[in-house]
Structure 1
Amino acid sequence: MTPANHLSRKWLWSFVLLVLAVLFHLYFIVSAWRQPVMLYGDAYYYDHSATVLNALHLYSYWSWGPAAQVTPGYPLFLALIYRFASLFSQSHQVGMHMAQTVQHLLSVVTVILVYRLMRFRLPRWASFIGGLLWLLYPPVIYANNQLLTENLYIPCLLAFTFAFLTAIRDQTRWQFALAGFWLAVTTLVRPSVMPLVAAPLLLLFDRAVRAYWRHWLGEVAAYVGVFVIAMLPWWIRNAVVMHQLILTDLDSANPLLYGSDPNFEKDTSLSSGLSLEQQKQLAIHRIEIGFHTHPILYLKWYTLDKIGLLFGTPWYNSTLAKHAGLLTRATFAYAHAHILWVVIGAVGLLMSAWLPYLRWIAALTLFLIAVQLPFIPINRYAYPIMPFFFLGVGVVLYGLQQLWLRRGGAVPSSQGT
């Protein structure tokens, strides 16, 4: 096989997946433009923040004054799209529809990123199936039609993961710098990933790295240095405008407080009349008292119960419309096969602990789950972790293929074609 033929074959699967993803999302883009964009909950505040940013050049959230309740990544993303849309129409609906369109196109990118992440270790066919399952996962469409951070957070998180794995593979300083940049961008969209700035320290578990740790100092410095540089504008803004050091945001107090109520049995208005700082203090107090007086109950709540609530149901329509058509019913049924992908994907991620490169994704998935456990457990927060579960599904399929080859007397391959 000539190098040109090998190259064309290498990228053929990616191209086919890209075409399918573009056509699939174009259908839903057209469908979304046919109905008005409705804003609920957090989406209303993100829209407000973006609108104020464009009108007054002021970063706010649920007020008309300066704020730091949330990191600025997603409101700035919306503001830029609204500004671009205003060149063609002054209708705010047009701006919001344009945002939906961009979110769908970003989802096309996530499909390719899922495929490329799986290709670090898995054959093309297994990677293709994993990418295709993520493409067809109905909550993706449900999410893209809403103006919420998940639609920007997922492509940024996958881009960081890809950049970090590439840095580990190539061991070049600029690759580590690129990974640090993507971590900063992801942090500015959703701050829970900020502790991953310490991720290179995990390389010390590798005996070869420990032996040549001085060689890695430059790479780690590039990773951390670019992260800090990219975060500096946000930190400086907070110091100047908010008169305090705010590394990420101030909005974690409320979900932390509601996450301290086992099974939501006691009080549905815990935060009434309390400032963000008071909510945080009350949350910590409730957690300390809970673990002291009912340790088993709280341990179960902060582990098994919350994991069950996070992953037990898909972030999707909870009920099917009475007169839903065949396609809608099929989509609804596939969305509620969610628990199947969670179980198989979890098995695959456990198997990934023994696979080069993919073990990093397994560790990342565990970290992303762990950082959600202190907070209120709603399935929307588990949705961004699902791409990694589809990667786990691909690992299981590949493992089954290798087992079948062994049973048939064939020689299993380390990586298929």
Structure 2
Amino acid sequence: MGIQIEESVAKISRRELIWVLALFTSALGIRLLALWMYPDFPLSTNATYAYLSGAQLLLEGKGFSDPSFSVLTPPFYAVIIAACSLISENAQLAVKVFQVIIDSATVVLIYLIVREVFSLAIAQFSSVVWAVYPFAIYTTLYIGPEAHFTFFLCSFVLLFIQAVKFNSYLCYCASGIVLGLATLTRGTTQFLPIPLGFLLIFLAKNQNEIRKAGLIFLLSFVVTLLPWTLRNYIVLQEFIPVATSGGMVFLYGSSSDFYTIESRERTLPEYLDNLSKTGFLTPKPGGGPKEKANFLFEAGLQNYRNKLLRSPGDMPFFLTAKFFRMWYSTESGNSHGLILGVNLIFYLFAIWGIYVIYARPSMFIWLPLLLIAYFIIVHWLALPLFRYMVPIMPYVIAIAGLGIEDIGKRLKWLPLITYKNR
């Protein structure tokens, strides 16, 4: 049994093309208006230390050969900033305008993805929501990689679906490259090919074909990352595939005292100082970025060990609180109520939508579900911030749309469903 997309949904008609263009134009107008209203958001530490300074090194001609080029974050967003700086003297504004365009294009990608996975009606619902979704709009207004990362992630999902649907080696290759670019924008997805391999095996009808397809996908992904990895080894003499921020965010997520910037500045130095007093190995003076990242990761692990030794019964409550926190929290500690208030309706209907999927699964729904599960696990283990979950919110919204549609049918609020069981 499965969800079969109607033939009328499988082809883009002239009327639908007009809808897509109107959708892009509307999203673009809304985001440009927001940028006009809020042109100057404060710069984060990452924006100053990694992105803008990296872009400046590239513009000065020092490029990636300079050891001071930050490996705390992946490099591609700094490359984008440098490219925008060549177009306009006001580099930050140029980057934000580019982000506005990119995120407007993401609205169209969401429409095309959901149209393939669910139905035309749910695709229209999801894309319209994303066009006006305040937290998508917000990602275009500050110097940060989230808008680009979401665009690359959506591009990957669409290409991967087409690859599986048509058994296209070209699409497998393109999806691997695009996922590599996403990973070079934000390192969250560097381990995603592992569960994707299992998904391919699960979906495969021909094991020989899927081995070739999986190899093409994996090689394309690795080759995209390889220049940056080689650069790090040559320049820094360290094996850093993508970035070193993982240790830092793992430590931040090991205690509720480290969740917000304010509480972290107050409590983290004391915690690290206490660790050094107990004989915990600290980085050597002049140690490389990987050594520092490993130290922070070990410090986070030690924090978990301490929790288990002091009060093992509290650990389930701590992990449960972390799970819920990732759906609304910020590093500033502000706007929690606003984020939860806007998203709660989607979360509730998405729970029902998952039930509908369980009752009537389809082939392509497994990829969005895998992405959601992957992001939950990664950020549950690390720092639970809603900002990190924004790139998977299009799929949460789509599943919520499925839940709304199903409830509407049951209560006779909506016309007949736009998909049918095989």
Give the TM-score normalised by structure 2: 0.81
Residue among 323, 344, 352 paired with 2:357 = 352
Q: 2:96 aligns with which of 77, 93, 100?
A: 100
1:392 paired residue number: 399
Partner of 1:339: 344
Asked whether the equivalents of residues 67 and 235 of structure 2 are also in contact (C-alpha less than 8 Å), the reply is no
> 2:48 maps to what in 1?
44
**Which of 287, 294, 299 is 2:316 aligned to?**
299
- Cα pair distance change 1:16/1:271, threshold 3 Å: farther
| Distance 1:65-1:118 versus aligned 2 partners, 3 A rule | same
Q: Which residue of 2 aligns with 1:327?
A: none
Shift in CA distance, 343/393, structure 1 to aligned 2, threshold 3 Å: same
- 2: CA distance between counterparts of 1:339 and 1:196? 27
Deviation at 1:141, TM superposition (A): 2.4
Instruction: Note if contact 1:139-1:315 (Cα within 8 Å) is conserved in structure 2.
Output: no
Deviations 1:50-89 (CA, angstroms, capped at 9, x unpaired): 12221242349xx98244221112111111111222xxx3
- Displacement of 1:411 after TM fit? 6.7
The 8 Å contact of residues 113 and 158 in structure 2, kept in 1 or not, is answered as yes
Does the Cα contact within 8 Å between 1:312 and 1:339 map onto a contact in 2?
no
Tell me by how many angstroms 1:104 deviates: 0.8
1:19 maps to what in 2?
25
Q: CA-to-partner distance for each residue in 1:192-226, whole Å, 9 max, x for gaps? A: 212222213323224x53xx211222211110111
Q: Is the 1:314–1:335 contact (alpha carbons within 8 Å) kept by the matching residues of 2?
A: no
Contact 2:351 2:403 in 1 (8 A): no
| Residue 386 of structure 1: how far off its partner (Å) | 1.6
Which residue is 2:60 aligned to? 55
- Other-structure match for 1:363: 370
Is 2:77 the counterpart of 1:77?
no
CA distance in 1, matches of 2:408, 2:311: 47
Aligned amino acid, residue 384 of structure 1: P
**Counterpart residue type for residue 44 of structure 1:** T
SS in 1 for 2:363: coil
CA contact (8 A) 2:187 2:243 kept: yes
User: For residue 308 of structure 1, what is the amino acid of its counterpart?
Assistant: F
Q: What is the alpha-carbon distance in structure 2 between the residues aligned to residue 281 and residue 335 of structure 1? A: 32
Distance 1:170 1:80, change over 3 A: same
Contact 1:314 1:383 in 2 (8 A): no
Supply the RMSD in Å over aligned alpha carbons.
3.2
Residue of structure 1 aligned with 2:240, choices 235, 242, 246: 246
Native 8 Å contact 2:52 2:78 kept in 1: yes
Deviation at 1:297, TM superposition (A): 2.0
Give the percent of matched residue pairs that are identical in Structure 1 and Structure 2. Answer: 18
Deviation for aligned residue 1:413 = 4.7
Structure 1 residues 381-401: Cα deviation after superposition (integer angstroms, max 9, x where no partner): 222222221111221133234
Q: TM-score, length-normalised on structure 1?
A: 0.82
| Structure 1 position 349, deviation (Å) | 4.1
The one-letter code matched in structure 2 to 1:268 is: L
Match of 2:151 in 1: 155
Q: 1:396 to 1:385 in 2, by over 3 A?
A: same
The equivalent of 1:143 in structure 2 is: 139
Residue 212 of structure 2 is aligned to residue 218 of structure 1 = yes
Distance across 1 between alignment mates of 2:133 and 2:416? 34
Secondary structure at 1:336's aligned position in 2? helix
Alignment partner of 1:118 is 2:114: yes
Question: Where do 5+ consecutive residues of structure 2 fail to align?
Answer: 1-7, 274-281, 284-291
CA contact (8 A) 1:116 1:127 kept: yes
Q: CA deviation at 1:316?
A: 9.8
SS of the residue corresponding to residue 42 of structure 1 reads helix
**For residues 292 and 172 of structure 1, do their structure 2 counterparts lie closer, same or farther at Cα, with a shift above 3 Å needed?**
farther
Taking the aligned partners of 1:314 and 1:166, their CA distance within structure 2 comes to 35
Cα offset for 1:114? 1.2
Whether 1:279 and 2:296 are equivalent positions in the alignment is yes
Change (3 A) 1:139 1:215: closer
1:65 aligns with 68
Q: How many pairs align?
A: 386
Q: Deviations over 1:115-143 (max 9, x none)?
A: 11110133322211111111111122222
In structure 2, the CA distance between the partners of 1:181 and 1:6, relative to structure 1 (3 Å rule), is closer
1:378 has 2:378 as partner:
no
Q: 1:165 to 1:300 in 2, by over 3 A?
A: farther
Q: Do 2:114 and 2:123's aligned partners in 1 also have CA atoms closer than 8 Å? A: yes
- Give the SS at the match of 2:419: coil
User: What is the deviation of 1:362?
Assistant: 1.3
Report the 3-state secondary structure (helix = DSSP H, G, I; strand = E; otherwise coil) of the residue aligned with 1:337.
helix
1:117-175 per-residue CA deviation (whole Å, 9 max, x = no partner) reads 11013332221111111111112222211101212111111111111111111111111
AA paired with 1:240? I
C-alpha distance in 1 between matches for 2:353 and 2:148: 26
State yes or no: 1:203 paired with 2:200.
yes
Aligned to 1:373, the other structure's residue is in SS state helix
